[in-house]
A and B are shown apart, each in its own frame.
Chain A
Amino acid sequence: MTPVRVLLAEDNEDHRFLTVRALSDLEGVELEIETAADGEEALDAISERRPDLVLLDIRMPKVSGLEVLRRLKADPELRSIPTVMLSSSDRSEDITEAYELGTSSYVTKPATAAGMKKGLRQLGEYWGRLVSLPSGAS
């Protein structure tokens, strides 16, 4: 089974750990997780390795998650990669902006396995494709 390659961009070390843990706790999927500590690093990783899924913290120093999202969506090569925004509040106007920029989903922090599952389910057909293709190949 080919794992789903995920890029996680999160500047807070604890949040990064907790999110990785939530992703690892997901049942029935095999993920290969790469992490980036800020937006710039994330942009480099995305253009170099083109992950299957990108998780972006909204607030990061230097290049924010929203800015990374904006650049992803402006790039015809990368715009089809599904994105999940990580937000510290579910009322934030940042979430509205993220949807306007074209994100596929968002997850409120701290991301537990349940919360992550809910967020990934929102990806709809994207997620179906991500998890069904590898298993179909096996």
Chain B
Amino acid sequence: MQYVNLALFAGLALLCLSMARRTRTEPARWAAATFGVLGLISLAGLALPDEPDDVSAVAVKVVLLGILLYPVALYRFSSSFERLPRRADVVVVAMAAAVAVATIAVPRFPDDDATRPWWFQLYAIAFLADWAGVGAVVARRLWRAGRGLPGVARNRMRMLSVGAAGLALALLPGLVPPADQPIALKIVAMVLPPASALLFALGFAPPMWLRTIWRRPDQAALRRVELQLIAADNRERVLATVLPHVAALVGGIDASFSDVAVASDDETSVISIPVADGYLVVASGPYSPFFGSDELEMVRSLAAFLELVLERTTLLEAERVARDAAERTSAELETLVYGISHDLKSPVISLLGYLEYLREDHGEAIGPDGLHYLDRMEKAALYMQELLSDLLELSRVGRVAVDATDVDLLHLVNDVSIDLRSKFPEARVEAGDLPVIHMNSSRARQLFTNLIENAARHGGRTDITVRLFSAIRDDGSAVVSVVDDGVGIPQEYREKAFGIFERLSPRDSSPGTGIGLALCRKIVETTGGEVGIIDSPVGTHVRIIFPSDAVRPAARPLIEVS
């Protein structure tokens, strides 16, 4: 048993010594001192001769004096993390010194089987009170300090705490003379030291598998934070998500994001990790630098992830700013178009009115040429009026949200074709299976009026036939086709036709403002759909796609409506 203890405590001493050499921190140095003392004592205990003589009596006293160093060193280890009142240090040293003096002063110790005199009993009690009392204080302190810390750090401190408590109790059976000790007490006295040594070793250098288990809850939390970070779309939210978690990982003092690195001071230990354009500044609790290396590793990996997320939010924000600016410009432009068109309308109205009365009151006086000029003036004014109306309408489609209802396109096309009959008496409109679309009814009317009128105007023949039919696609969207048998539009002009003021023929050869198709596109886009001209064997094929959420299907047989 002695050899097992020796091996364990010597191992522990070496572990602490190498830790002290590696980290060069105060706690590590005191840990090395504490367990170096215990290792030496174990070694010395082995060397003590079995037969008591004068030399061995002195040797025993020397070993006992060595043992007295343990509580002092252990206490200094536990107090090296925080600034504590000096008084407690003085008390601990004074207690050890008093017992040391007693050790030297007392006469030769009685043999194991002899009855113990009163002074020896008193001495033993004082010695063990120092040993166990300091051990208990340290055990309690480590346990309490570990409470607020995350998994690995907390568990390491608990290992040390229980180890210290175990060692504190280990010598207490010595109060009873060996001959009088019951067997259970003997077993306890035998088991406690190696068990404590093991716990200390686990606390100072936990093996990987144990760290993994202790880490698990924090790592799960880390995953959750990472998921939240992916969802966060601006810098403030990212930092608000990550900082409290970082703070919790290092013992709950503080974590912040700063433009400059911050150094540690006497009160707190601070690490600054460069992230993106600043630093993740983490102020840790007093125990974290020593016990929280695992958590610091997690903080560093979180910092690397944070860098990626911050870069992403920077890009997103830049994009949003650009988009907002573009939208604002577009909205301002539409407001401007609306204002200008509206104000230009008034003079045109006056012009048309006066022209009318000029012709009525003075037509005879200005002669046939004059009347012809009046006609041209009136045509120009009417064209301008139409242009302004279309522009107003175009700006309104983008600006003003209007009520949507279920519009039966078949009924609508029927109405439209009846309205157009007087303008284009020879044209025919055929409508097949058309869906019901959820949209604004007057805009739907405008859309199909423009499309059918366009075909009749620009088709190049008066007896043009315009056919409308539709199909519902697998995804629920509806494709509505408006096909004529006119001259068609060459491929390269098809997209241009949807631009504002794009006319494919000189103004005098074909009527219309050149806004009609642009308006059509805007109307379709407000439903979330799209419109374009596609290839067709004859004439023009305008294809509208209404999105599934705007479609209310209605199947009907093909009928001729005009």
Show the binding face of A for B, using Cβ within 8 Å: 12, 14-15, 18, 21, 59, 88-89, 91, 93, 109-112
Check A89 against B350 for contact (C-beta < 8 Å).
Answer: no
A residues in contact with B349, CB < 8 Å: 14-15, 18, 88, 109-110
Residue-wise, chain B 423-443 has the 8 Å CB interface mask toward A (1 for contact) of 000000000000000000010
- Asked whether B393 is an interface residue with its Cβ less than 8 Å from the other chain, the reply is yes
Known pairs A91-B389, A91-B393, A93-B400; A110 contacts B353 (CB<8 A): yes
B residues in contact with A59, CB < 8 Å: 342
Q: Tell which of B345, B352, B353, B354 touches A89, judged by Cβ atoms closer than 8 Å.
A: B345
A residues in contact with B402, CB < 8 Å: 93
Closest to A12 in B: B346
8 A–B contacts, CB within 8 A, in A order: A12-B346, A14-B353, A18-B350, A88-B346, A89-B389, A91-B442, A93-B402, A110-B352
Shortest Cβ gap from A113 to chain B (Å)? 9
Shortest Cβ gap from B345 to chain A (Å)? 5
A residues in contact with B346, CB < 8 Å: 12, 14-15, 88
Check A14 against B350 for contact (C-beta < 8 Å).
Answer: yes
Residue-wise, chain B 184-209 has the 8 Å CB interface mask toward A (1 for contact) of 00000000000000000000000000
Check B400 against A110 for contact (C-beta < 8 Å).
Answer: no
A residues in contact with B350, CB < 8 Å: 12, 14-15, 18, 110
Which residues of B384-412 have CB atoms within 8 Å of chain A's CB atoms? 389, 392-393, 396, 400, 402
Q: How far is the CA of A99 from the CA of B544 in the complex (A)?
A: 33
Known pairs A15-B350, A91-B389, A111-B353; list 12 more (Cβ under 8 Å). A14-B346, A14-B354, A15-B353, A18-B353, A18-B357, A21-B353, A21-B357, A88-B342, A91-B393, A93-B396, A110-B349, A110-B352
- Asked whether B324 is an interface residue with its Cβ less than 8 Å from the other chain, the reply is no
B residues in contact with A12, CB < 8 Å: 346, 350
Q: Tell which of A21, A88, A91, A111 touches B345, judged by Cβ atoms closer than 8 Å.
A: A88
Q: Tell which of B354, B393, B442 touches A18, judged by Cβ atoms closer than 8 Å.
A: B354
- Asked whether B356 is an interface residue with its Cβ less than 8 Å from the other chain, the reply is yes
Number of A-B contacts (CB under 8 A): 42
Q: How far is the CA of A109 from the CA of B354 in the complex (A)?
A: 12
B residues in contact with A109, CB < 8 Å: 349, 353
Residue-wise, chain B 349-366 has the 8 Å CB interface mask toward A (1 for contact) of 110111011000000000
B residues in contact with A89, CB < 8 Å: 345, 389, 392
Task: Choose among B345, B353, B389, B402 the residue with the greatest number of A CB atoms under 10 Å from its CB.
Answer: B353
Closest to B360 in A: A25
Shortest Cβ gap from A88 to chain B (Å)? 5
Shortest Cβ gap from A11 to chain B (Å)? 10
A residues in contact with B345, CB < 8 Å: 88-89
B residues in contact with A111, CB < 8 Å: 353
Which residues of B428-461 have CB atoms within 8 Å of chain A's CB atoms? 442
Residue-wise, chain B 280-296 has the 8 Å CB interface mask toward A (1 for contact) of 00000000000000000
Closest to A96 in B: B442
A residues in contact with B393, CB < 8 Å: 91
Shortest Cβ gap from B211 to chain A (Å)? 70
Q: How far is the CA of A93 from the CA of B342 in the complex (A)?
A: 13
Shortest Cβ gap from B353 to chain A (Å)? 3
Task: Choose among B349, B356, B389, B393 the residue with the greatest number of A CB atoms under 10 Å from its CB.
Answer: B349
Shortest Cβ gap from B231 to chain A (Å)? 41
Shortest Cβ gap from A36 to chain B (Å)? 18
Q: How far is the CA of A112 from the CA of B392 in the complex (A)?
A: 23
Q: How far is the CA of A110 from the CA of B356 in the complex (A)?
A: 10
Shortest Cβ gap from B393 to chain A (Å)? 7
Q: How far is the CA of A93 from the CA of B281 in the complex (A)?
A: 59
Closest to B361 in A: A21
Q: How far is the CA of A91 from the CA of B402 in the complex (A)?
A: 14
A residues in contact with B342, CB < 8 Å: 59, 88
Q: How far is the CA of A12 from the CA of B343 in the complex (A)?
A: 11
Q: How far is the CA of A7 from the CA of B193 in the complex (A)?
A: 112
Which residues of B307-346 have CB atoms within 8 Å of chain A's CB atoms? 342, 345-346
Closest to A19 in B: B353
Shortest Cβ gap from A8 to chain B (Å)? 14
Q: How far is the CA of A14 from the CA of B463 in the complex (A)?
A: 43
B residues in contact with A112, CB < 8 Å: 353, 356
A residues in contact with B400, CB < 8 Å: 93
Shortest Cβ gap from A55 to chain B (Å)? 15
Shortest Cβ gap from B526 to chain A (Å)? 15
Shortest Cβ gap from A104 to chain B (Å)? 22
7 closest A-B pairs by CB: A110-B353, A18-B353, A14-B350, A109-B349, A88-B345, A110-B349, A110-B352
B residues in contact with A15, CB < 8 Å: 346, 349-350, 353
Shortest Cβ gap from B348 to chain A (Å)? 9
A residues in contact with B353, CB < 8 Å: 14-15, 18, 21, 109-112
Q: How far is the CA of A73 from the CA of B206 in the complex (A)?
A: 87
Q: How far is the CA of A23 from the CA of B422 in the complex (A)?
A: 29
Closest to A21 in B: B357
Q: How far is the CA of A46 from the CA of B396 in the complex (A)?
A: 33
Q: How far is the CA of A30 from the CA of B235 in the complex (A)?
A: 74
Closest to A13 in B: B350
B residues in contact with A110, CB < 8 Å: 349-350, 352-353, 356
Shortest Cβ gap from A100 to chain B (Å)? 12
Q: How far is the CA of A89 from the CA of B354 in the complex (A)?
A: 18
Shortest Cβ gap from A108 to chain B (Å)? 9
Shortest Cβ gap from A93 to chain B (Å)? 7
Shortest Cβ gap from A98 to chain B (Å)? 15
Shortest Cβ gap from B199 to chain A (Å)? 82
Closest to B345 in A: A88
Shortest Cβ gap from A21 to chain B (Å)? 6
Closest to B402 in A: A93
Shortest Cβ gap from B387 to chain A (Å)? 12
Which residues of B43-62 have CB atoms within 8 Å of chain A's CB atoms? none
